[in-house]
Amino acid sequence: MRSRTGALLSWGLGATLALLLGSCGVESLDAGGSDGALTYTSEESSLTWDPYADAVASGTTGTVLNAQAAVGAPDGQAATLLSLLNTALVLDLGQGEEGTGDLRVYYQGLSVALVAQVDFLKADGTLIGSSPLHLVELGLGTHVAVATYPGSVPYRYVRLRGAVLALYLVDAVETSLRPICGDGVPGGVEVCDDGNPLSGDGCNSVCQVETGYTCAGAPSVCTDIDECALGTDTCAPEEVCVNTPGGFECEEPSCNPPRLVCGEACVDPNTDNNHCGGCGNVCGEEKACAAGVCVGTGNLQFTATWSRDGDADIYVKTPTGRMIYVENRGPNVGTDFGALDVDDTGGDGPENVFWAPNRTPPSGTYHVCLMAFLFSPEPTPEAPVHYNVRVRRPGQPDVDFSGSITQAVFIEECIPGDPTYVGSVAYP
């Protein structure tokens, strides 16, 4: 059984502990100051993330007895902190095992309640912030106190300082990961996390699934529930159920063009992913229905349609100056890994440029141009070709550029002022 000390300890006891360190053959840890660069001395860190300290780090003072006992999970063996001579125990959580949440400290050996301090340090040893650690006398055994993490960036090291003229034992420390809504990793009370803190896309601003959607994965991919197809709508028997994002609408029995009756549902084949261009034509994974055609979708998407049959070509100029169009379709380095996947040469669109979910578009401003040729009659002020270009970015509202083409001209630079210029949009 471990002996228990009184509330006050003399300087002589501190010296005695220091002597014990040497006489027992325990190598004294670096006491040359706890604010310098940190290095650690211990066995190699675990290859998988664990919440406990992997090693004792420099900055640990010589008045800490048996410091190595604080490494690893609670096991009944503890380091002794004598709160004299600026005592500090510095523990390394391990590379790749940094914490972002509160710290649990497993402790023993109190005869009176005391308040210690925990410093949270970055990987380079700089201080992030400090928090009090309230230790309560609870009798024999190992107990737990929590130090609230005051920062917002990961911490690798924790430095425990003692209370004045008191002694306590540290068995282990246990870090945690604080869930952050919008980081793409569901955790804690988060039901979903799609990588953004916005509502309206299936996973709302507090990372809960919105009504009418299902979400899965990390980052979460949210899919609209088709209540009409599933038969879970509440429309009256004489009404037609029309699926909408996150819900449905009950309409009168007439299902007028361009809508179609597919099964018992009235759908728009221009936009319905399950009936794209016709009943039962399902757009697959990473595809979306645009103007009745399944087109690629992902991190960034530009989709052009126009008002009458003919050959129109979309051009997208990236922030790096690369141009994506029918003669440079990608995806490759020359298109910044964007791709033109649909080229309509005789209808009313769509033409589609997109970055797949596994491709990250360059940050900056994108310019969009549209060139019209092989129309009959040709575009003129009296016979214009009206167009729409829709830009989609995950977690942000769609941007629509609409206008009219009144002459057939070639694209020059695709910048504002070019006769074919449609508009510009920033990403992200």
Q: Which long-range contacts (CB under 8 A, 24 or more apart) does 143-146 make?
A: 143/106, 143/107, 143/108, 144/104, 144/105, 144/106, 144/107, 145/104, 145/105, 145/107, 146/102, 146/103, 146/104, 146/105
Looking at residue 8, its pLDDT comes to: 28
Q: Whole-model pTM?
A: 0.45
Distances (CA, A) of 215 to 186, 220, 225, 226, 321: 11, 6, 10, 14, 36
The pLDDT of residue 128 is 94
User: Checking phi first, is residue 20 left (phi over 0); if not, alpha (psi -120 to 50) or beta?
Assistant: alpha
Residue 104 CA: distances (Å) to CA of 60, 148, 162, 192, 290: 19, 9, 16, 26, 52
- With CA atoms as reference, report the closest residue to 53 among 5, 103, 9: 103
379's CB contacts (< 8 A; 6+ apart) are 372, 385, 405, 406, 407, 408
The DSSP secondary-structure symbol of 398 reads -
Question: What fold, for 226-282?
Answer: Laminin (2.10.25)
For position 164, what pLDDT does the model report?
Answer: 62
Q: Tell me the percentage of the chain whose pLDDT exceeds 90.
A: 46
How is residue 185 written in tokens?
Answer: 């990793």
43, β-bridge pairs: none
Convert the pLDDT of each residue in 197-242 to its tens digit: 788 889 988 888 999 999 998 889 898 999 988 889 998 877 888 8
Q: What was the pLDDT predicted at 85?
A: 58
Is 294-427 the same fold as 11-174? no
SS3 (DSSP) at 188? coil
Quote the DSSP letter at residue 180: -
Q: Which residues of the chain have pLDDT under 70?
A: 1-48, 83-85, 163-165, 253
Q: Which of 33, 53, 51, 58 is nearest to 43 (CA)?
A: 53
What pLDDT does 18 receive? 33
Tell me, what's the pLDDT at 267?
Answer: 86
Whole-number pLDDT of residue 22: 35
How far apart CA 348 and CA 312 sit, in angstroms, is 8
What is the overall mean pLDDT for the chain?
Answer: 83
Q: Which residue has the tokens 């645009």?
A: 290
3-state helix, strand, coil in the chain (%, to 5): 5, 35, 60
Q: Which numeric CATH code is attached to 294-427?
A: 2.60.60
Instruction: Find the distance separating the first CA and the last CA of the chain, reported in whole Å.
Output: 62
For residue 15, what pLDDT is reported? Answer: 33
> For position 20, what pLDDT does the model report?
33
Strand order in the sheet with 311-317: 323-324, 311-317, 364-373, 421-427
Question: Cα separation of 255 and 121, whole Å?
Answer: 64
CATH number of the structural domain 11-174: 2.60.120.260
How far apart are alpha carbons 37 and 126 in whole angstroms?
A: 8
Q: Domain coordinates of the chain in residue numbers?
A: 11-174, 181-224, 226-282, 294-427
Beta-bridge partners for 88: 161
